[in-house]
Amino acid sequence: MKILHTSDWHLGRNLYTKKRYEEFTLFLNWLTDVIESEDIDLLLISGDIFDTTIPSHYSQMLYYQFLYRVSTTNCQAVVITGGNHDSPTFLDAPKALLETLNVYVVGSMREDVAQEVITFYDDSHTPKAIICAVPYLRDKDIRTVESGETIDDKDKKLISGIKDHYEKVCAIASLRQTEYLSSFNAKVPIIAMGHLFSTGGVVTDGDGMRDLYVGSLGSVHEDIFPTCIDYLALGHLHSAQKVGSKEHYRYSGSPIPMGFGEAKQQKKVLLISFDNTTPNINEYSVPLFQRLERLKGTLEEIQTAVDELITQNSDAWLEIELSEHTRAQEAKIALEEQVEKSKLHIIRIKDIHFIDSVLLSAYKNETLDDVDEYEVFERLLAAYEIENEEKKELIDSYKEILFAIQNEDTLKE
């Protein structure tokens, strides 16, 4: 059985004010071609299919059109698990209908964990793979709240809940594996899915996880996963990478750069086949559908770099960071005039010197695009001269609040 592992599509995500539906369309068309050309049997999508819990009509159209096209190929099945950006309610709603297309959705943790274990068979009804389709495990699903808990207490209980859930799901998978070995004289591989943050995982500027998860709730070590797992197909981190020392524990990463911090990454999907239960893992490079360029320097240096891109007939989207104090509006006018007759598009201009020289965003030239929710909070702490000891506790509490917001399913009644 040939398996394709992908995740973190974030359909509907904008790059600042720029919509990216053309990129998503090109990616999904390319992925369909790969499924056909590589004769993929099983497609795994490990969460964050959409960027928001209430996806746009266009995003939904891309999603359902893709699933229908896959159903017309030789791909036997698709397994989709929910991510923290997805609404479990929205993903699960058409579950029964999608199963008629051999698309199996697990948007949220099931009370009966056996429902997260799916066996796939070949045409002769011989079992070929056991999938532990574990979605993003939300705090409220796996942790009981007690008064007087510290951040460390909550973190330990959350990690313990994740570990316990994987042990329960994998125990069922292991029993099936034993039954199949007895009945079919073949050891069927166990493939687990997940959407979580692993300790030591590589994050990038602008991916929305650097501040929230590093040193905070929900970071798990590779050792929490049961040893029976033959391949672990993870989502959540946008850079393709292995988990710790485990070659067969993998993040596929996002298929397109989600921000300028990911612009230089080679995006990938992962193709897995098995020799008995030993996985053979091949990285399949995703084409670049829209070039992104982050230009840093003085106005003169940036104008030189822009001239070079124009000479190359580039159609890149540009994020510009001015390293010297320059009036942003004047620089914007000069640069917009420079690219006016080219294919380049300036998405953002940021005056680094100005931002570093002020505390609050009430000054001219700075907008909310120049700061994120963490920086705003830290500036407020500094403005009110909060002591370092108290500051750490407040930052931890603030991160916990944001973590809880991300865990909320806004469509659930």
Domain coordinates in residue numbering, the chain:
3-285, 292-407
Find the range with the poorest average confidence among 96-100, 199-203, 280-284, 400-404. 400-404
Which one has a higher pLDDT value, 395 or 205?
395
Which one has a higher pLDDT value, 332 or 309?
309
Q: What pLDDT was estimated at residue 219?
A: 82
Q: What pLDDT was estimated at residue 55?
A: 95
Q: What pLDDT was estimated at residue 150?
A: 80
Residue 279 has pLDDT above 70, yes or no: yes
Find the range with the poorest average confidence among 136-150, 174-188, 201-215, 258-272. 201-215
Residue 134 has pLDDT above 70, yes or no: yes
Q: Which residue reads 């793979």 in tokens?
A: 129
Starting at the edge strand found earlier in the chain, the sheet holding 117-121 runs 117-121, 127-132, 190-195, 231-235, 246-251, 241-243
292-407 folds as Double Stranded RNA Binding Domain (3.30.160)
Q: What is the mean pLDDT of residues 32-40?
A: 98
Residue 355 has pLDDT above 70, yes or no: no
Q: What pLDDT was estimated at residue 368?
A: 53
Greatest mean pLDDT among 10-19, 27-36, 345-354: 27-36
119 pLDDT band, cuts 50/70/90, is very high
Q: What is the mean pLDDT of residues 15-26?
A: 95
Find the range with the poorest average confidence among 45-49, 143-147, 246-250, 317-321. 143-147
Q: Which residue reads 């705003």 in tokens?
A: 376
Q: What pLDDT was estimated at residue 371?
A: 57
3-285 architecture in CATH?
4-Layer Sandwich (3.60)
Residue 363 has pLDDT above 50, yes or no: no
Q: What pLDDT was estimated at residue 54?
A: 92
Average pLDDT of the residues of the chain: 88
374 pLDDT band, cuts 50/70/90, is low
Q: What is the pTM of this model?
A: 0.85
Q: How far apart are CA 97 and CA 99, in angstroms?
A: 5
Q: What is the mean pLDDT of residues 228-256?
A: 96
SS (H, E, C) the chain: CCEEEECCCCECCCECCECCHHHHHHHHHHHHHHHHHCCCCEEEEECCCECCCCCCHHHHHHHHHHHHHHHCCCCCEEEEECCCCCCHHHHHCCHHHHHCCCEEEECCCCCCHHHHEEEEECCCCCEEEEEECCCCCCHHHHCCCCCCCCHHHHHHHHHHHHHHHHHHHHHHHHHHHHHHHHHHCCCCCEEEEEECEECCCCCCCCCCCHHHHCCCCCEECHHHCCCCCCEEEEECCCCCEEECCEEEEEECCCCCCCCHHHCCCCCEEEEEEEECCEEEEEEEECCCCCCEEEEEECHHHHHHHHHHHHHCCCCCEEEEEECCCCCHHHHHHHHHHHHCCCCCEEEEEEEHHHHHHCCCCCCCCCCHHHCCHHHHHHHHHHHCCCCHHHHHHHHHHHHHHHHHHHHCCCCCC
Residue 359 has pLDDT above 70, yes or no: no
Which one has a higher pLDDT value, 388 or 59?
59
